[in-house]
Amino acid sequence: MDSNPCWHPTDSLAPLPAPRNLKVHLYNAQQALSWEPVSLDSDPRPVVYQVQYKYSTSSNWYDVNKEDSKVDCTNLTRTECDFTANSLSEGFPWRFNISLRVRAKLGPLVSAWATAPWFEHYRNATIGPPENIRVTPKEGSLIIRLSAPFDVPASEAYFVYHVYYWEKAGGKQVTCCFRSNFITLKDLKPLRVYCFQVKAELCLTKENISRPGLLSNISCSETAADASVKLQQDILAVVTTFLVLLVVVGSCLFLVLKYRGLVKHWFHSPPSIPSQIEEYLKDPDQPILDALDKDSSPKDDAWDSVSIVTFPENEQEGCPQSADPSHQPTEGVL
Predicted confidence (pLDDT) per residue in 64-83, tens digit: 888 776 788 999 999 999 98
Query: What b/e string do you get for 288-297 counting C-beta neighbours within 10 Å, with b at 16 or more?
Result: eeeeeeeeee
Pairwise pLDDT comparison (318 vs 295), residue with the higher score = 295
Give the model's pLDDT for residue 123.
Answer: 92
Is residue 30 over pLDDT 70? yes
Give the model's pLDDT for residue 95.
Answer: 87
Q: From CA 47, how far away is CA 19, in angstroms rounded?
A: 11
Is residue 334 over pLDDT 50? no
Give the model's pLDDT for residue 327.
Answer: 45
Is residue 329 over pLDDT 50? no
Q: In 3D, which of 124, 116, 101, 115 has the Cα closest to residue 30?
A: 124
- pTM given for the model: 0.61
Residues 67-71: contacts with CB within 8 Å, 24+ apart? Answer: none
Q: What is the mean pLDDT of the chain?
A: 78
Give the model's pLDDT for residue 249.
Answer: 77
- Report whether 200 contacts 213 (CB < 8 A): yes
Percent of the chain with pLDDT over 90: 43
Query: What b/e string do you get for 128-158 counting C-beta neighbours within 10 Å, with b at 16 or more?
Result: bbbeebebebbebbbebebebbbebeeeebe
* pLDDT per position as a tens digit, 103-116: 999 989 999 999 99
- Which residues fall within 8 angstroms of residue 133, CB to CB, at 6 or more apart? 144, 145, 146, 198, 216, 219
Is residue 12 over pLDDT 90? no
- Report whether 84 contacts 170 (CB < 8 A): no
Is residue 1 over pLDDT 70? no
Is residue 302 over pLDDT 90? no
Residue 95, SS3 per DSSP: coil
Average pLDDT over residues 92-108: 92
- ω into residue 6 within 30 of 0, thus cis? no
Q: From CA 12, how far away is CA 38, in angstroms rounded?
A: 18
Is residue 210 over pLDDT 60? yes
* pLDDT per position as a tens digit, 246-260: 788 777 777 777 666
Is residue 120 over pLDDT 80? yes
Which band of pLDDT confidence, cut at 50, 70 and 90, is reported for residue 42?
Answer: confident
* 38-42, 92-96, 170-174, 313-317: least confident range: 313-317
Give the model's pLDDT for residue 158.
Answer: 95
- Report whether 52 contacts 62 (CB < 8 A): yes
Residue 87, SS3 per DSSP: coil
Give the model's pLDDT for residue 4.
Answer: 38
Task: State the DSSP string of 299-325.
Answer: -PPP----------TTPPTT-PPPP-G
> What's the one-letter identity of residue 237?
A
* pLDDT per position as a tens digit, 226-248: 555 554 555 666 667 767 777 88
Give the model's pLDDT for residue 251.
Answer: 75
Alpha carbons within 13 A on the beta-carbon side of 63: 11
Give the model's pLDDT for residue 252.
Answer: 78
